[in-house]
C-alpha cells in the first residue's frame, strides 16, 4: 500500500480519455466501483459519506469532561442531602431548646456542622446559622441544571465530531481519464504490474445533503447546478473536490488496490475526514 501511495505521486507519462490496454480498462472499472457510480433513469449519481476528522484525544477529552461533570453532579447531590440532614438536626435541637432542654453543646456543634456543609456548597449562612430557606434549594437546583446542561452540550459536541455527513451528487457529462505511471525495475521486481491514476470529473453537478455536518438543517431540494471551477471558487469543495476526484490505482502481485489520492486539504496540511461512497437508491434523492 505504501508503495502504491508513492507511485501515485510520480509524474504521469500520458493522459488518455480512452483506455489503450486491458489493464487500463480494469483500472477504470476498479475506480468506478470505488466511487459506486449509480445510474438511475439514465442519470448518473454519486453519494459521499464523510466522517469528520477528529483526533482521538479530542474525543477522549470530551468524554472525560462528561464523566467529570457527572461526578460533580453526584457529589453535589450527596453534599446537598448531607446539608439537609444537618439542617433537620439543627432545627430539632432548636425546638428542644425552646422546650427547656439543655442541648447548648449539641446545638453549637450542629451550627458548626451546618455552616461548614453550606460553605462547602458555596451557600453562605449568617452568623446565627438560621435554617436554610427555599432560596438554598433554588440555588442547588440551578447548579444541577447548569451541570446537566454542560453534559448535554458535551454530548452534542461528541455527536457532531463523530457523525458522518451524507451528500448525493447528480453528475452531468462525466469524464473518466486514466493516466498510467512508469514502472521502475524495482517496481516490477516487487510485483507491480500496473500503476497510475484514474480521474473523475463532471462538467456540471448539483448536490443534495439529507444529512449535513454539525447539526445543520438537511437540504429539502437540489442545489443549483455548478461547475467544479465554480464550486471551488464558492468554497463548495468537499473532501473529494466536488466534483473532481482522482484515485491511485494499481495491480500488485495480481491484486488490484485503490487508494484515495491526496486532497487539497491534505496538501495544505489539513486533515479532512475519511470519505467513502455508497450505492445511490431512489430513496436517497429529494422527493
- The three cell numbers locating residue 16: 488518455
Neighbours of 285 (CB within 10 A): 16
The residues, any chain, with a CB within 8 Å of residue 243's CB and separated by 6 or more, are 46, 169, 171, 200, 201, 202, 205, 228, 231
- The three cell numbers locating residue 178: 486514466
Alpha-carbon gap, residue 156 to 65, rounded angstroms:
13
What is residue 172's predicted lDDT score, i.e. its pLDDT? Answer: 92
CA distances from 259 to 59, 124, 262 (A): 27, 64, 9
Residues 248/258, Cβ–Cβ less than 8 Å? yes
> Greatest CA span in the chain, whole angstroms?
109
**How far does Cα 52 stand from its chain's mean position?**
5
- The three cell numbers locating residue 123: 451557600
Alpha helices (H) along 99-227: 104-120, 134-162, 185-189
Alpha-carbon gap, residue 226 to 257, rounded angstroms:
32
- The three cell numbers locating residue 283: 430513496
**In a 3-state reduction of DSSP, which class is residue 178?**
strand
Alpha-carbon gap, residue 79 to 85, rounded angstroms:
10
What is residue 53's predicted lDDT score, i.e. its pLDDT? Answer: 65
Q: Which residue has the cell 490505482?
A: 249
Provide the residue count of the chain: 287
Instruction: Provide the whole-model pTM.
Output: 0.57
What is residue 16's predicted lDDT score, i.e. its pLDDT? Answer: 36
Alpha-carbon gap, residue 243 to 48, rounded angstroms:
11
Residues 215/281, Cβ–Cβ less than 8 Å? no
Q: Where are the domains of the chain?
A: 2-52+164-284, 56-162
Cα-trace Rg, the chain:
33
What is residue 20's predicted lDDT score, i.e. its pLDDT? Answer: 63
Per-residue pLDDT of the chain (287 residues; tens, 9 = 90+): 444 444 433 323 233 344 568 999 999 999 999 899 898 888 899 888 877 667 778 888 888 998 988 888 888 788 888 877 887 887 888 888 888 888 888 888 888 887 777 777 766 665 444 545 445 666 777 777 888 888 888 887 787 777 778 889 999 999 999 999 898 999 899 999 999 999 998 999 998 988 876 667 888 999 899 888 887 776 655 544 557 888 889 999 999 988 765 443 343 343 445 778 889 988 889 97
Amino acid at each position: 500500500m505504501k508503495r502504491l501511495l508513492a507511485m501515485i505521486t510520480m509524474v504521469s507519462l500520458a493522459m488518455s480519455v480512452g483506455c489503450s490496454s486491458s489493464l487500463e480498462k480494469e483500472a477504470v472499472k476498479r475506480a468506478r466501483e470505488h466511487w459506486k457510480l449509480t445510474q438511475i433513469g439514465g442519470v448518473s449519481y454519486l453519494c459521499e459519506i464523510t466522517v469528520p476528522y477528529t483526533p482521538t484525544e479530542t474525543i477522549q477529552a470530551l468524554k472525560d469532561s462528561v464523566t467529570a461533570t457527572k461526578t460533580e453532579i453526584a457529589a453535589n447531590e450527596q453534599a446537598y442531602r448531607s446539608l439537609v440532614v444537618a439542617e433537620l438536626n439543627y432545627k430539632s435541637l432548636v425546638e428542644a431548646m425552646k422546650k427547656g432542654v439543655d442541648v447548648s453543646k449539641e446545638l453549637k456543634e450542629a451550627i458548626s456542622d451546618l455552616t461548614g456543609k453550606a460553605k462547602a456548597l458555596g451557600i453562605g449562612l449568617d452568623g446565627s446559622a438560621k435554617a436554610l430557606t427555599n432560596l438554598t434549594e433554588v440555588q442547588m437546583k440551578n447548579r444541577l441544571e447548569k451541570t446537566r446542561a454542560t453534559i448535554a452540550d458535551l454530548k452534542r459536541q461528541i455527536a457532531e465530531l463523530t457523525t458522518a455527513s451524507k451528500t448525493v451528487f447528480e453528475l452531468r457529462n462525466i469524464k473518466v481519464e486514466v493516466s498510467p505511471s512508469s514502472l521502475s525495475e524495482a517496481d516490477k521486481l516487487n510485483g507491480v504490474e500496473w500503476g497510475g491514476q484514474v480521474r473523475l470529473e463532471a462538467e456540471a453537478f448539483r448536490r443534495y445533503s439529507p444529512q449535513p455536518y454539525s447539526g445543520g438543517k438537511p437540504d429539502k431540494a437540489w442545489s443549483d447546478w455548478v461547475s467544479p471551477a465554480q464550486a471551488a471558487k464558492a468554497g463548495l469543495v468537499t473532501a473529494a473536490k466536488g466534483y473532481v476526484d482522482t484515485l491511485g490505482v494499481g495491480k500488485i502481485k495480481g491484486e488490484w488496490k485503490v487508494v484515495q489520492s491526496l486532497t487539497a486539504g491534505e496538501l495544505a496540511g489539513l486533515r479532512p475526514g475519511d470519505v467513502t461512497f455508497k450505492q445511490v437508491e431512489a430513496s436517497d434523492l429529494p422527493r
